């Protein structure tokens, strides 16, 4: 029991350390940026008045020594205060709180889509590596990750807006959002199809290649030979003995790439008008709104860290070989 | 048939002509040239690079200048690819806009490779606290979403081609570092590295002359892939309006015209095809290199 | 005779089997048969086609590597008495036979078990598949099978994963799985090659007993003539995809008909064959002049090791890899260090080479204490000792020409000018029996034996006095192994080299060494003149080790006591702060010392 407790403690300290590093990094960025920190914090809001700048200086104690400012900053973050957006005229925490859920919905559905579809395609292609399907998948996956995600998004948007209006192309819900219950969920899901698919394309391409390679590798391994020597049918060989081993590299990769997926959401949300954190990032960047964009960076890092820990946990469940060992 | 193999490679006759002296790199290159898709990628890439280098001289139209009525469709006037919402020539944009994309893509890839290999090599070779420290740093950069990090840096600093390239490089070296670390760690355990150490070879010699050449194949493949990623990255930043405002780029063209997509498809679609083909070329090359280096296709 | 009829007692008859992988013919026109309850060994060196034959019987070559049975028949008598030709059966029928009437075990028990499922799950799966019983019943039977293969604490083992077991235990699990459905034929492909010699002896004995109990016929695929002599009733010899000869095991060993078999048996080291001389002796190979005994060594010490200790941290405490190891090695002498995995023998090699830093102790090379010398100060001393590694495939940098590799020591130590490096490399090539015009080739263009010659040439480049050979001939086929051993002995007498010869193979050790040190759990338990230690072992571990070595002589079978012991090699890992008991050696004869037990 104590070893588990120690592992949990170690992990928590590790996570907190990473978060602290992100905060210090954020803090330093504002002060390292060229120009007056007060101006940086105020952002490009159409001529920050001297009064606003003065207010910022007193509020953030910009005249104090740097280390005192850092401590004050960390203290504020602890109480949930990530700063104030002068452009949006609202606290950053509130702004992000409003936008985080749509982003999580988008990113997680894209992730699930990518892992499931990518793995299925990869496994089929590895089972018949010389088939036309396998060749077509190789070509398609190359194309899939060569196309810029925002461009694919726009092409899909043209297709579904003017040619084949099957899915809504903008926003997260219809009308003024007055639906409730199941009907609301269906509406959101309907709006989710295009952005989630667009975001997933690149990763479907990658995971299909990855799982194809892993599956080919596993199918050539000794324990698959053993499984066949037992007289198991192809279904059991593939789905019981091979798949669980072949999916391990996909899990690792999905964990490592979670932050990329999060970044991709910025572009996809911008294209499809999805009201998430990515779109907020885009809006705040247009106005050089530093507190908001830094808050988003911190929040994304937080989500990525949590996601990485979950991936790790999941990996441990899937692979008994590392279950008993320390942090990877 | 003689039973016990002799000192000279008499057995060679059984399997064909005695092998000529072939370096593993030379072998890989031959393999690459036999791969039709890879060669197609190489030809495409050469074509694109030539277009961006020579094109602006052959087609010296200002990509920012208003040359004709807005929304002129392709093939209707002397501006064969039409104009955008401000009447700017799309062809000029494509010809001139490649420079920024390719330059930023290539230099960002170089930065990420150099940074990643340095950090990964030291971490993997020395292990212990060096590894622990460097991997903490890597992990820190790993949790910051690359595009968001680049957005923050570019917001705070000025968006010039140099800062953009540096930013993209800084945001995408972690994968390289992980790969380099794993390769250096793996090779460090190999007997031929221990053999070099038993000969009193210095650490620098072992890292540079013994391990690095053997770690290169996967790193070269990753460099190719990273160039593609960096090009997409630059395009994404330009699309968001974070590119160098003084330079035309493909991503910028898409971002500027996307509001009018339902009125005019060409100012968005055509530069997108340019990006797509460039990245596709790089991916094909990377894929070909990967197959060429793959030892499973060759005897060891 | 009708195509599908066989004598009543016959289980399997292979007729004219030809297997092709792409353009390579892996098995050519092979015929043999197997009768009820007997053990048939198929022997050959690497590339002989023996493993392909094993896989072809179960038609497993058609997966992945895309092998094709081009011609031939594989007649098999099913348990119900009907005879089928496996080559012409559909996949569905084959699946019913695999794992049920014919089952198979492989060389690498670790990679042959699926890492993500428990042992019980993998055994029970076969039973559910072929017996159609429920999972609970299957698990019951699996437990019983684990008892039958004598795995200690079977209830707990049922729920463990393969990576939590030792190699020997894993192979027992494989055997339990293979025998679960009581097959009429068990095909064992190099079943003990990956195991330590004491574990090998236990496993072979277990297989023999289970064969009696279950009445299973065994096809044993192996390269090891010792294992053949101990277990087989009949032998089929293969070489380069072809059938060489077939016969009862006694006849094959006593009067081989084929030239190849005779040469193969000559190259097999036999423990006890050098009992008449205290000195090393080359193998009697064709072409070599009459094997001369090598010169007696001088008594000038080249290497003195004193109280060497190496511990390093591991999960759950500390590995006591090397504890209080002391020995000396004289000019022109070979000291063999033998032991099983985890005995610390390779760590000793690395410590002497200063590739690993010792925890304690002193290493004197030609009178100079080299422990604690800096990288720079160590450099001149490295010229005096060089190392040859186990794996000739891994110890040469694949990206450089072999001439470059053999010349590298001279470039690092600047012992030759640019111009003379080439000449010296050519000279070294000649010395190890390679042609200098191969200098511009790359390692992958050479065979295993040639690569090991290259490694020896590289080791000799700086005119060393001491060569440390870490399992240097273990990865080679016996005929190649014999050549390399002869080369090393030849070089020793010509150049006055000293060898520290690390090995797990007692029979090879007998050929090459003047003295032997037996290591167990990081300690030297016995050290002395080779003839004394091998003929008259005093320590119980040495005795166990020697009795486990398979004897390549069928006539000697059963002469020594069989043990059904179930053991793992004990672990050298102890909790932090553990103080090992001191090593006390007592003299058992001139220069012969034994640890007190």
What domains does chain A contain, in order, with CATH numbers?
3-78 (no CATH), 104-327 (1.10.3720.10)
Mean of the per-residue pLDDT values of chain B: 81
pLDDT category at C559 given cuts 50, 70, 90 is: low
- Give the nearest chain B residue to A303 (CA atoms): B143
Q: Nearest C-alpha of chain A: how many angstroms from B152? A: 7
CA-angle at C202, arms to C196 and C203, nearest 5°? 85
pLDDT at C465: 93
Count of other CB atoms within 10 angstroms of residue C532: 20
3-state secondary structure of C124: helix
Residue C193: other Cβ atoms inside 10 A: 15
CA torsion sign, C587 to C592 to C593 to C597? negative
Nearest Cβ partner for C389 among B5, B21, B195: B195
User: Is residue C293 scored above 70 in pLDDT?
Assistant: no
Q: How much is the pLDDT for B20?
A: 53
Phi, psi of C353, rounded to the nearest 5 degrees: -75, -5
CB-nearest partner of C399 from B195, B213, B298? B213
C189 at interface of A, judged by CB pairs closer than 8 A: no
Tell which A residues from 259 to 318 touch C, by Cβ distance under 8 Å: 318
- Chain C residues with CB-CB distance to A317 below 8 A: none
Q: What is the DSSP letter of C443?
A: G
pLDDT band at B16 (very low <50, low <70, confident <90, very high): very low
Tokens of C229: 């002599």
| Mean pLDDT over each residue of chain A, to the nearest integer | 83
CB contact under 8 A, C397 and B9: no
Asked if A226 and C63 come within 8 Å (Cβ–Cβ), the reply is no
Check C64 against A233: CB less than 8 A apart. no
Tell me the chain C residues in contact with residue B194 when contact means C-beta distances shorter than 8 Å. 355, 387, 389, 395
Per-residue model confidence as pLDDT tens digits over A83-93: 777 777 888 88
Residue B10 has pLDDT above 50, yes or no: no
Give the pLDDT confidence of C213-225 residue by residue, as tens digits.
999 999 999 999 9
Whole-number Cα distances in Å, A147 to B173, B226, C546: 21, 14, 67
ipTM of the complex as predicted: 0.84
Residue C377 neighbours by CB under 8 Å, 6+ apart? none
CA distance B35 to chain C (A): 20
At residue A328 the predicted structure's pLDDT band, cuts being 50, 70 and 90, is: very low
Is C1 a residue whose pLDDT tops 50? Answer: no
DSSP annotation of C152 reads S
Smallest CA–CA separation between A110 and chain C, in Å? 28
Residue contact A227–C114, C-beta within 8 A: yes
pLDDT at residue A262 tops 90? no
Residue C278: predicted pLDDT: 84
Q: What is the mean pLDDT of residues C483-493?
A: 91
Q: How many helices (H) and strands (E) does chain B have?
A: 12, 0
Please, which residues have CB within 8 angstroms of residue C405's CB and are 6 or more apart in sequence? C396, C397, C443, C454, C458
Indicate the length of chain B as a whole number: 300
pTM, rounded to two decimals: 0.84
* Mean pLDDT, residues A243-249 taken together: 89
pLDDT at B299: 32
Q: CB of C163 within 8 Å of any CB in chain A? A: yes
A220 shares contact with chain B (CB less than 8 Å)? no
Structure tokens at C300: 């000038």
Residue A46 CB contacts under 8 Å (≥ 6 apart), including other chains? none
What percentage of chain A has pLDDT greater than the value 90?
A: 14
Confidence of residue C562 (pLDDT cuts 50, 70, 90): low
Residue C322 sits at φ, ψ, to 5 deg, of: -135, 130
**What are the two backbone dihedrals, phi and then psi, of residue C17, each rounded to the nearest 5 degrees?**
-70, 125
Q: What is the pLDDT of residue C134?
A: 94
Q: Do C441 and B21 touch (CB under 8 A)?
A: yes
Subunits close to B (at least 3 CB pairs below 8 A): A, C
Whole-number Å distance between alpha carbons of A159 and A140: 19
- Pair C171, C105: CB distance under 8 Å: yes
Question: Is the separation of the CB atoms in C477 and C314 below 8 Å?
Answer: no
Total count of residues recorded for chain A: 328
Q: What is the pLDDT of residue B12?
A: 32
The dihedral built from the CA positions of residue C477, C482, C488 and C491, taken in this order, carries a sign that is negative
Interface of A with B in 35-64 (CB under 8 A): 40
Answer left, alpha or beta for residue C562, where phi above 0 means left and psi between -120 and 50 means alpha: beta
User: In this structure, what is the dihedral angle of CA atoms C359, C363, C368, C369, given to the nearest 10 degrees?
Assistant: 20
pLDDT surpassing 50 at residue A80:
yes
* DSSP sequence for C24-40: EEEEEEEEEEEETT-EE
Position C563 confidence tier, pLDDT thresholds 50, 70, 90 = low
pLDDT band for position C313 (50/70/90)? confident
Query: Measured between alpha carbons, how far is A237 from C415 in angstroms, rounded to an integer?
Result: 59
Of C36-45, C121-130, C273-282, C379-388, the poorest mean pLDDT is in C273-282
C564, pLDDT greater than 70:
no
State the pLDDT at residue B11: 35
| CA–CA distances in Å: residue C387 to residues C349, C457, C459 | 9, 11, 6
Main-chain phi, psi angles of C314, to 5 degrees: -145, 170
CB contact at 8 A, C535 and C522: no
Q: Is the distance from CB of B233 to CB of B172 less than 8 angstroms? A: yes
Q: Determine the Cα–Cα distance for residues B224 and C194; give it in Å rounded to an integer.
A: 41
pLDDT reading at B298 higher than 50: no
pLDDT tens-digit series, residues A284-294: 887 778 888 88
Give the ranges where chain A is alpha helix by DSSP (H).
2-32, 37-42, 50-60, 66-78, 92-127, 132-146, 149-158, 181-219, 222-229, 234-236, 243-256, 258-272, 277-286, 290-318, 320-323
A288: three-class secondary structure by DSSP = coil
Contact by Cβ (8 Å): A146, B283:
yes
Q: Are C60 and A225 inside 8 Å of each other by CB?
A: yes
pLDDT reported for residue B290? 82
Select the more confidently predicted residue: B56 or A204.
A204
Q: Cβ contact (<8 Å) for C399 and B214?
A: yes
Q: Give the tens place of pLDDT for each residue, A170-190.
A: 777 666 656 677 777 777 777
C449 contacts on B by Cβ (under 8 Å): 5
Contact C240 B14 (CB under 8 A): yes
DSSP string spanning C92-111? HHHHHHBTTTEEEE-S-HHH
Distance from CA of A238 to the nearest CA of B (A): 22
Q: Average pLDDT, stretch A208-234?
A: 90
pLDDT at residue number C221: 95
Q: Name which of C189, C224, C209, C234 is nearest C41 in CA terms.
A: C234
In this complex, do B23 and C386 lie within 8 Å of one another by their Cβ atoms?
Answer: no
> Which among C96, C98, C116 is the nearest to A319, CB-wise?
C116
Expressed in angstroms, the distance from the first to the final Cα of chain A is 20
Q: Which residues in A lie closer than 8 A to residue B228 (C-beta atoms)?
A: 145-146
Q: Supply C215's token pair.
A: 């009445």
Task: Determine the pLDDT at residue B191.
Answer: 87
Residue A230 has pLDDT above 50, yes or no: yes
Question: What integer pLDDT is reported at residue C246 of this predicted model?
Answer: 94
In which band, very low, low, confident or very high, does the pLDDT at B296 lie, cut at 50, 70 and 90? low
Helix and strand totals (H; E) in chain C = 20, 23
Query: How far apart are the two ends of chain C, measured CA to CA in Å?
Result: 65
**CA B159 → CA A109, B165, B231, B237, C41, distances in Å?**
33, 10, 16, 10, 75
Residue A235 in tokens: 């279904």
Confidence of residue B8 (pLDDT cuts 50, 70, 90): very low
Distances (CA, A) of C476 to A41, C398, C450, C457: 71, 19, 10, 17
Q: What is the secondary structure of C346-398 as a DSSP string?
A: HHHHHHHTTSS--SEEEEEETTEE-TT--HHHHHHHHTTEEEE-S-TTTSS-T
Pairing status of strand C523-529 against strand C515-520: antiparallel
Angle at C446 between CA C444 and CA C448, to 5 degrees: 100
Q: How many residues does chain C have?
A: 597
């Amino acid at each position: 029991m104590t070893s588990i407790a120690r592992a949990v403690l170690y992990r928590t300290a590790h996570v907190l350390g990473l978060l602290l590093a992100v905060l210090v990094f954020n803090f330093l960025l504002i002060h390292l940026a060229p120009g007056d920190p007060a101006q940086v914090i105020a952002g490009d809001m159409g001529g920050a008045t001297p009064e606003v700048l003065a207010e910022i200086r007193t509020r953030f104690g910009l005249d104090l020594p740097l280390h005192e400012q850092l401590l004050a900053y960390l203290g504020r973050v602890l109480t949930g205060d990530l700063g104030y957006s002068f452009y949006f005229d609202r606290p950053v925490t509130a702004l992000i709180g409003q936008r985080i859920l749509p982003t999580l919905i988008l990113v997680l559905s894209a992730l699930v889509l990518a892992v499931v579809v990518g793995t299925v395609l990869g496994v089929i292609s590895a089972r018949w590596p010389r088939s036309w399907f396998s060749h077509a998948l190789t070509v398609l996956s190359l194309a899939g990750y060569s196309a810029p995600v925002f461009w694919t998004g726009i092409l899909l948007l043209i297709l579904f807006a003017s040619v084949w209006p099957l899915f809504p192309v903008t926003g997260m819900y219809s009308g003024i959002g007055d639906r409730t219950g199941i009907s609301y969920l269906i509406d959101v899901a309907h709006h989710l199809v295009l952005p989630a698919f667009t975001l997933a394309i690149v990763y479907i391409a990658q995971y299909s290649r990855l799982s194809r390679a892993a599956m080919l590798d596993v199918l050539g391994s000794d324990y698959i030979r053993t499984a066949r020597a037992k007289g198991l049918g192809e279904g059991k060989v593939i789905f019981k003995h091979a798949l669980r081993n072949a999916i391990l590299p996909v899990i690792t990769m999905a964990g490592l790439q979670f932050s990329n997926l999060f970044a991709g959401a910025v572009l996809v949300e911008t294209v499809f008008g999805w009201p998430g954190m990515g779109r907020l990032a885009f809006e705040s960047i247009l106005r050089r709104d530093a507190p908001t964009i830094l808050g988003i960076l911190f929040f994304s890092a937080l989500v990525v860290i949590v996601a990485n820990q979950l991936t790790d946990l999941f990996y441990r469940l899937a692979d008994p070989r590392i279950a008993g060992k320390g942090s990877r | 048939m003689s039973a016990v193999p002799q000192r000279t490679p008499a057995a060679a006759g059984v399997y064909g002509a005695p092998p000529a002296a072939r370096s593993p790199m030379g072998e890989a290159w031959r393999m690459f040239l036999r791969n039709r898709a890879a060669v197609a990628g190489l030809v495409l890439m050469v074509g694109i690079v030539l277009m961006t280098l020579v094109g602006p001289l052959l087609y010296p139209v200002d990509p920012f200048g208003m040359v004709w009525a807005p929304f002129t469709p392709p093939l209707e006037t002397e501006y064969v690819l039409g104009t955008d919402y401000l009447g700017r020539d799309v062809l000029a944009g494509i010809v001139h806009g490649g420079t920024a994309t390719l330059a930023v893509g290539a230099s960002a890839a170089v930065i990420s490779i150099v940074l990643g290999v340095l950090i990964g090599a030291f971490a993997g070779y020395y292990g212990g606290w060096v590894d622990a420290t460097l991997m903490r740093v890597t992990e820190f950069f790993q949790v910051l979403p690359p595009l968001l990090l680049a957005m923050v840096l570019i917001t705070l600093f000025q968006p010039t081609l140099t800062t953009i390239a540096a930013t993209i490089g800084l945001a995408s070296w972690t994968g390289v570092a992980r790969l380099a670390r794993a390769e250096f760690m793996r090779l460090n355990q190999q007997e031929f590295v221990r053999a070099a150490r038993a000969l009193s070879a210095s650490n620098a010699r072992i890292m540079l002359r013994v391990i690095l050449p053997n770690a290169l194949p996967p790193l070269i493949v990753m460099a190719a892939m990273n160039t593609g990623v960096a090009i997409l990255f630059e395009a994404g930043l330009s699309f968001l309006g974070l590119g160098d405002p003084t330079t035309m780029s493909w991503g910028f063209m898409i971002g500027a015209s996307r509001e009018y997509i339902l009125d005019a498809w060409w100012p968005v679609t055509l530069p997108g095809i340019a990006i797509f083909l460039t990245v596709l070329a790089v991916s094909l090359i990377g894929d070909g290199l990967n197959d060429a280096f793959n030892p499973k296709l060759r005897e060891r | 005779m009708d195509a599908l009829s066989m004598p009543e007692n016959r289980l399997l008859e292979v007729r004219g089997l030809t297997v092709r992988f792409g353009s390579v013919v892996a098995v050519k026109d092979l015929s043999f048969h197997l009768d009820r309850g007997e053990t048939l060994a198929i022997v050959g060196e690497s590339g002989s086609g023996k493993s392909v034959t094993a896989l072809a019987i179960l038609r497993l070559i058609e997966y992945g590597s895309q092998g094709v049975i081009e011609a031939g028949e594989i007649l098999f008598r099913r348990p119900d008495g009907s005879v089928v030709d496996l080559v012409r059966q559909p996949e569905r029928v084959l699946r019913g036979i695999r794992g049920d009437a014919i089952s198979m075990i492989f060389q690498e028990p670790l990679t042959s078990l699926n890492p993500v499922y428990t042992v019980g799950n993998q055994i029970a799966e076969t039973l559910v598949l072929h017996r159609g019983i429920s999972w609970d019943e299957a698990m019951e039977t699996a437990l019983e099978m684990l008892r039958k293969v004598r795995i200690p604490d079977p209830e707990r083992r049922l729920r463990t994963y393969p990576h939590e077991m030792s190699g020997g235990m894993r192979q027992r699990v494989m055997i339990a799985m293979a025998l679960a459905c009581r097959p009429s034929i068990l095909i064992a492909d190099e079943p003990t090659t990956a195991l330590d010699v004491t574990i090998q002896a236990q496993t072979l004995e277990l297989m023999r007993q289970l064969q009696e109990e279950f009445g299973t016929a065994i096809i044993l695929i192996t390269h090891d003539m010792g294992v053949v002599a101990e277990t087989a009733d009949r032998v089929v010899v293969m070489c380069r995809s072809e059938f060489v000869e077939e016969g009862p095991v006694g006849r094959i060993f006593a009067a081989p008909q084929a030239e190849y078999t005779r040469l193969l048996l000559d190259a097999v080291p036999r423990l006890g064959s050098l009992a008449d001389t205290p000195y090393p002796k080359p193998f009697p190979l064709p072409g070599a002049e009459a094997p001369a005994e090598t010169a007696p060594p001088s008594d000038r010490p080249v290497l003195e090791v004193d109280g060497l200790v190496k511990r390093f941290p591991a999960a759950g405490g500390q590995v006591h890899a090397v504890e209080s190891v002391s020995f000396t090695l004289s000019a022109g002498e070979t000291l063999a260090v033998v032991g099983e995995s985890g005995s610390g023998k390779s760590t000793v090699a690395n410590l002497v080479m200063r590739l690993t830093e010792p925890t304690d102790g002193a290493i004197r090379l030609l009178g100079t204490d080299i422990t604690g010398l800096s990288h720079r100060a160590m450099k001149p001393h490295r010229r005096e000792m060089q190392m040859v590694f186990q794996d000739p495939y891994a110890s040469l940098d694949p990206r450089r020409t072999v001439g470059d590799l053999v010349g590298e020591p001279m470039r690092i130590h600047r012992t030759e000018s640019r111009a003379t490096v080439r000449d010296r490399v050519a000279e070294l090539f000649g010395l190890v029996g390679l042609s200098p015009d191969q200098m511009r080739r790359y390692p992958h263009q050479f065979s295993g034996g040639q690569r090991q010659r290259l490694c020896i040439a590289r080791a000799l480049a700086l005119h060393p006095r001491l060569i440390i050979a870490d399992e240097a001939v273990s990865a080679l086929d016996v005929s190649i192994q014999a050549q390399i051993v002869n080369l090393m002995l030849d070089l020793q007498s010509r150049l006055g080299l000293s060898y520290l010869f690390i090995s797990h193979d007692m029979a090879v050790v007998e050929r090459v060494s003047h003295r032997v040190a037996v290591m167990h759990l990081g300690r030297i338990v016995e050290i002395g003149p080779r003839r004394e230690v091998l003929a008259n072992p005093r320590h119980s571990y040495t005795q166990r080790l020697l009795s486990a070595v398979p004897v390549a002589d069928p006539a000697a079978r059963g002469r020594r006591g069989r043990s059904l012991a179930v053991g793992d090699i004990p672990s050298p890992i102890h909790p932090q702060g553990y103080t090992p008991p001191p090593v006390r050696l007592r003299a058992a004869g001139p220069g012969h010392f034994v640890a007190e037990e």
